[in-house]
Amino acid sequence: MADYKRDRHIMSQRRTEGAAIVVTGAAGGIGGGITTRLLTDGWTVAAVDLDADRLAKLKTDSNNDRLLTVTLDIAKSDDVRTAAASLKERGVVIAGLVNGAGLLQDVGPFMAMNEDAQRRIWDVNYFGAVACTREFGAQIIANGGGSIINITSINELRVLPLHAYGPTKVALGSLTTLTAGEFGAAGVRVNSIAPGFTLTPILRDKIKSGKRDASALERATAMGRLVEIEEIASVASFLMSDDASAVSGASIPVDAGWLSTSYWMNFGDMLRTS
């Protein structure tokens, strides 16, 4: 019973002790939002990204000594191993990981896919997360447990015409279930967040350029609106806390109800009849 009670409060203990959460893709829209929220929650955050300039801006904007920055291409597994070892040598105790780094893809026909571009998407979105889970996850296990979050997508749960991006998110969702089952005995919870159409800088630019129709996207959701970055970060905050102490192996859509109602548009504008 003593061990059970201790396990329920792993994250509170780690945060009080100054442990860190590793966030990959931390200079991006969703990754940046999660980083900011975790800092607000009192965590030390090791922000990982390939873009050194954007990481430097994140550091300046946050003005927080608890933010550490790591410039890293997670698609290079040897570099991930080196970065994990370096953090350990610096005395950073890792309690959590957010696999948030990912490459997007433009909509296009299957036959037009560029094989090299497809492989790069897999190398970052899936194999990069595998490498981070292996290297940083090993430290989380050695440190007595913690929490891992994989940022997937509604593409994990619904087929969309993104022939490389979508399958990587399905694979990442499967990795969530597999590692949740294996790591649970070590006190590590693993979950996924599946964002819907979220108002990141990239989506805002696509809306502004006419590549995405904001009104059409909004009409396809149950709530009639798009998702804000802060709403993704709030769920990450929950999963990284002891409030989620019995939540593992779950995939949580944060999509304003898009998964519930997007197909309803095939039956007329049922969502807007009231």
* DSSP code string of 215-251: HHHHHTSTTSSPBPHHHHHHHHHHHTSGGGTT--S-E
Could you please state the CATH topology (level 3) that the domain comprising 2-199+229-261 is classified under: Rossmann fold (3.40.50)
Q: Which residues pair with 192 in a beta bridge?
A: 150, 251
What is the structure's pLDDT at 60? 95
Q: Is a pLDDT exceeding 60 seen at residue 2?
A: no
What is the structure's pLDDT at 178? 98
Q: Are 47 and 56 in contact (CB under 8 A)?
A: no
Q: Is a pLDDT exceeding 60 seen at residue 65?
A: yes
Tell me the average pLDDT across 195-210. 92
Q: Is a pLDDT exceeding 50 seen at residue 1?
A: no
pLDDT digits (tens, 9 = 90+) for 130-146: 999 999 999 999 999 99
Tell me the average pLDDT across 174-201. 96
Query: Which sequence spans correspond to the domains of the chain?
Result: 2-199+229-261
Q: Is a pLDDT exceeding 50 seen at residue 67?
A: yes
% of the chain beyond a pLDDT of 70:
95
pLDDT digits (tens, 9 = 90+) for 19-56: 999 999 999 999 999 999 999 999 999 999 999 999 99
Contacts of 221 (CB under 8 A, 6+ apart): 196, 197, 255, 256, 257, 258, 261, 262
pLDDT digits (tens, 9 = 90+) for 88-110: 999 999 999 999 999 888 777 88
Tell me the average pLDDT across 68-90. 97
Give dist(CA 256, CA 232) in Å, integer: 11
Give dist(CA 219, CA 229) in Å, integer: 19
Q: How confident is the model at residue 5 (pLDDT cuts 50, 70, 90)?
A: low
**Residue-averaged pLDDT of the chain:** 92
